[in-house]
Amino acid sequence: MSIDLVPLTRNSQVWNKCFRNTVLWNYKKEKDLAVWDKAT
């Protein structure tokens, strides 16, 4: 059973890293995004 869970663990680690990077990017660019949204 534990062997079957290894790929899921790796996928979740990749997803968590991607999600964390996206959240950090949003925090850094938050002011720029508001201007960009108004221009759009």
Q: Give the pLDDT of residue 30.
A: 76
Dump pLDDT digits (tens) for 6-36: 677 778 888 889 999 988 888 887 777 666 6
3-class DSSP state for residue 1?
A: coil
Q: How far is CA 6 from CA 24, 27, 29, 37, in A?
A: 27, 32, 35, 41
Q: Give the pLDDT of residue 17.
A: 92
Q: Rounded distance, CA 23 to CA 14, Å?
A: 14
Question: What kind and span of H or E run contains 16?
Answer: helix 2-39
Task: State the maximum Cα–Cα separation within the chain, in Å, rounded to a whole number.
Answer: 53
